[in-house]
Structure 1
Amino acid sequence: MPLTTPRLTLRRFRDEDAPALAAYRSEPDVARFKSWEAPVTPLTAQAWVRAFAAASPHAPGPFSYAVELTAERRLIGDVTVDLHQNLRQAELGFTLAAGHQGRGYASEAVRAVLAELFDVRGLHRVSAECDARNTRSAALLERVGFTREGCRRQATWLKNEWTDDLLYGLLASDPRP
């Protein structure tokens, strides 16, 4: 547990991460396609951080990695893995502060998590979904090797409108660029 890349450390959340989490998850561009409402209050962020910190990366259910810039020791996002009961498949999600998007950090973090899930823990499949309007997330998923498997039309009621969901999948046997 932590996962490291040349620029990032992916680690368990700590209490002191709550202000940074509240800040980036309150950014309108970050929250736009997500299930939560912005702004995120300090109390909500604190509750989320405590729940994230209490979870186990090896037990069924969600586990969120804090994504930290190693050189600056600054929290810039999170990657969540929702491990299935069978421990052989999971669903992946990610969030990155707006000021750190477009620099390859999210791809780097997702690749590190995928390597852990497939190469170390032996998962068979990882899935992901995103709002069809979220073209940057869809492009990231495809860039790291996911295959677009479908679109559920008007499947999610989000922020007072119906949205389409793009569905992605990646198998352990698939090539990962």
Structure 2
Amino acid sequence: MLIATERLVLRRFRPADAEVLAGYRSDPEVARYQSWDAPFSLLRAETAVANFMASDPDKAGWFQYAVEHADEKVLIGDVAVHLHDNLKQAELGFTVAAAYQKRGFAAEAVTAVIDRLFRVQGLHKVSGECDARNAASAGLMERLGFTREGHLRQQTWIKGEWTDDLIYGLLAEEWLLGRA
């Protein structure tokens, strides 16, 4: 376990998580604004989990937190962090299985990860990016105190169309002041 919250355990991925990961990433609604296509095969999930397990949250590169419901002991999503080479900035992304959406789990998980990034790892800035049509992700970042820093028109070619991206940023001083 890396982080515990009231309802969640954020931990490293395990081989047994591959089937659940494939399941929620295969949901077309979950995959709609993400970089992967549904269905997300079990083989692809097993490869992803192996890569997740090989990464380190304190080193530059991508790290994926497995988000587990503490009471149900089931994987309900993941939070990705791309730690920059300078170890002072990171980009994050998040995914929650459809059955666990709209219940505050994404906010709880992302809050815990951001808190670790600023308080434990001493980062200066965390950024996030989402498809401009993804009101739920944009709304979550705004509720957590992120500032919308940009709207990139027709920035990403994904799933057969050009999409706009929203860029968000959160500084350590803003986070720590808001949590004092």
Corresponding residue of 2:63: 63
Corresponding residue of 2:112: 112
Shift of 1:2: 1.4
**Are residue 167 (structure 1) and residue 167 (structure 2) matched?**
yes
Corresponding residue of 1:73: 73
Shift of 1:29: 0.6
Shift of 1:145: 1.0
Corresponding residue of 2:158: 158
Tell me, in whole angstroms, the C-alpha distance in 1 between the residues paired with 2:53 and 2:29.
26
> How many percent of aligned residue pairs carry the same amino acid?
60
Point out 4+ residue stretches in structure 1 off by more than 6 angstroms: none
SS at match of 1:174: helix
Tell me, in whole angstroms, the C-alpha distance in 2 between the residues paired with 1:156 and 1:141.
20
SS at match of 2:174: coil
Corresponding residue of 2:34: 34
Tell me, in whole angstroms, the C-alpha distance in 2 between the residues paired with 1:158 and 1:133.
13
Tell me, in whole angstroms, the C-alpha distance in 2 between the residues paired with 1:100 and 1:27.
13
Corresponding residue of 2:4: 4
Corresponding residue of 2:17: 17
Unaligned segments of structure 1, at least 5 residues: none
Tell me, in whole angstroms, the C-alpha distance in 2 between the residues paired with 1:85 and 1:163.
28
SS at match of 2:122: coil
Tell me, in whole angstroms, the C-alpha distance in 1 between the residues paired with 2:59 and 2:172.
20
Tell me, in whole angstroms, the C-alpha distance in 2 between the residues paired with 1:155 and 1:112.
30
Tell me, in whole angstroms, the C-alpha distance in 2 between the residues paired with 1:56 and 1:98.
28
Write the deviation string for residues 106-161 of structure 1: whole angstroms up to 9, x where unpaired.
Answer: 00000000010001111000000000000000000011111101100000001000
Normalised by the length of structure 2, the TM-score is 0.97
- Name the aligned partner's letter for residue 167 of structure 1: I
- Name the aligned partner's letter for residue 53 of structure 1: M
Corresponding residue of 2:99: 99
SS at match of 2:141: helix
Corresponding residue of 2:144: 144
- Name the aligned partner's letter for residue 118 of structure 2: F
Tell me, in whole angstroms, the C-alpha distance in 2 between the residues paired with 1:36 and 1:11.
22
